[in-house]
Structure 1
Amino acid sequence: MTDPEAPEAAATPLAAIRARIAQSAMIARRKADEITLVAVSKTHPAEAIVPLIAEGQRVFGENRVQEAEAKWPAVQEAHPDVRLHLVGQLQSNKAEEAVRRFDCIHSLDRPSLLAALARAMDKTGRQVPLFVQINIGDEPQKGGCAIADLPALLAEARVAALPVIGLMCVPPAGIEPAPFFALLGKLADDHGLAGRSMGMSDDFETAIQLGATHVRVGSALFGARG
């Protein structure tokens, strides 16, 4: 009789990732259903997405508004319960398109974008949950709100009645990510935010053990970029 927990039982990449999430959650004494797997399908065609939907995956991530607009309408028409998250940088002039297309945005990082999102939500009547992206490693080449600027940005979001649900980060490449995940968790706790969008294909297990609520997994599910 085959052990359903055995690695060989994970016949697909999605099954393998789900098993690793469950294992990491167990080690952290958490429940696996506390963690949302965002399958990052950027640069991959709809044909690569449909098999994951057939396996029950319902939350997907895209980096670019234009790509999502081109790829997802037909998929979501066929599968209206699929939810789409924007996990890449967002230009203020694309805020309204993003609010109309996405069910969650992980990249609020500056006052000008906050104002654009507030106008877009007011115009569309959609309240889209937001994560504030933190430049957790203080890297000049990366987007994200500086840690020192976070209190002011959150205060502006409260005034604008924007639904900020958590913080997001991408740790510096090539460095042990655990301290950065721990810092994001502390910042979230300090500001009373439950959501922690952190961890990707190479480090999501560490992120789960440090409190991730959303992990953004692309290459481990889809392979190299299309």
Structure 2
Amino acid sequence: MNQLQHSAIAENLQHVRERIASIAALCERTPEEVTLLAVSKTKPASAIEEAIAAGQLAFGENYVQEGVEKVAAFADHQPPLVWHFIGPLQSNKSRLVAENFDWCHTLDRLKIAQRLNEQRPQNKPPLQVLIQVNISDEQSKSGITLAEVPQLAAEIAAMPQLRLRGLMAIPAAESDYQRQLAVFQQMAAAFKQLQQSYPQIDTLSMGMTDDMPAAIAAGSTMVRIGTAIFGARDYAAKV
């Protein structure tokens, strides 16, 4: 990676942070209320190093094996990086997530929750988890319905090695701001309802590069940004 690309990642991060601050101000929110998660899937360690140099410490990975390798590569970094698993999770990969990641955003089945709880090492803090909601009811997407959230939340809350922190959603692609906002507001309402039962609930993970303004306006506390930071992805390079 040449110096031009290096500086581009730092500049992109600065631009995204400024956008978050600007959008938050319009909504009478503070930038500190919105965590920026840098989605580093398919990107090399050198790109992550540049983001770290620019002050980014929280990273999201979609592919288990690739993510595990990156977690190991940066295991000794101080201050520690925070690794979020944000991709679909199959049963046969749950142990790797339980043993290596700090967060899992895509919990949508009791079976997976039970496996993560059993497989989380006792010497690590509980795995921070979010319930994934299929808010647009897309057959191709993971996640549960809003009506199913209370039951799964109650089951997760009883597991000692998991800590339920909130909800996550990936709405269907939509270019119209008002329609984006309407979907995100449904998520925000469900999030507030969940907070009434579980005081530790504090994370609403929604909003990506193309719909971040509507997500923040609706109340997102964590946006998952990849392309706007690292540029287009080369999926052929995926581990």
Calculate the TM-score normalised by the size of structure 1. 0.90
The structural deviation recorded for 1:173 is 1.1
User: In the TM superposition, what are the counterparts of 1:84-123 in structure 2 within 5 Å?
Assistant: 84-121=83-120
* 8 Å CA contact 1:69, 1:101 repeated in 2: yes
Provide the C-alpha distance between the structure 2 equivalents of 1:224 and 1:170, rounded to a whole number of angstroms: 19
The equivalent residue for 2:227 is 219
Match of 2:170 in 1: 170
Indicate the larger mover: 193-202 or 66-75.
66-75
Alignment of 1:23 with 2:31, yes or no, is: no
Give how far 1:32 is off.
0.7
Contact in 1 for aligned 2:71/2:101 (Cα 8 Å):
no
Partner of 1:4: none
Corresponding residue number in structure 1 for 2:65: 66
Counterparts of 1:128-207 in structure 2, within 5 Å, are: 128-161=127-160, 162-174=162-174, 176-192=179-195, 193-207=201-215
Q: Normalising to structure 2: TM-score of the pair? A: 0.85
Residue 125 and residue 73 in structure 1: after superposition, are their counterparts in 2 closer, same or farther (change >3 A)? closer
Q: How far apart are 1:164 and its partner, in Å?
A: 0.6
CA gap of 1:82–1:186, structure 2 versus 1, over 3 A, is same
Partner of 1:55: 54
Query: Does structure 2 retain, via aligned residues, the 8 Å contact 1:62–1:68?
Result: yes
Q: Secondary structure at the match of 1:76?
A: coil
1:43/1:225 contact within 8 Å kept:
yes
Which is further off, 34-43 or 69-78? Answer: 69-78
Aligned partner of residue 12 in structure 1, secondary structure: helix
Q: Taking every aligned residue pair, what percent have the same amino acid on both sides?
A: 39
Match of 2:34 in 1: 35
Task: State how far apart, in whole Å, the 2-side matches of 1:56 and 1:123 are.
Answer: 30
Unpaired segments ≥5 residues, structure 2: 1-8, 196-200, 235-239
Which moves more between the two structures, 183-192 or 167-176? 167-176
Tell me the residue number matched to 1:5.
Answer: none
Q: Which amino acid aligns with 1:164?
A: L
SS at match of 2:75: helix
RMSD: 1.8
Distance 1:148 1:107 in 2: 17
Counterparts of 1:186 and 1:84 in 2: how far apart (Å)?
27
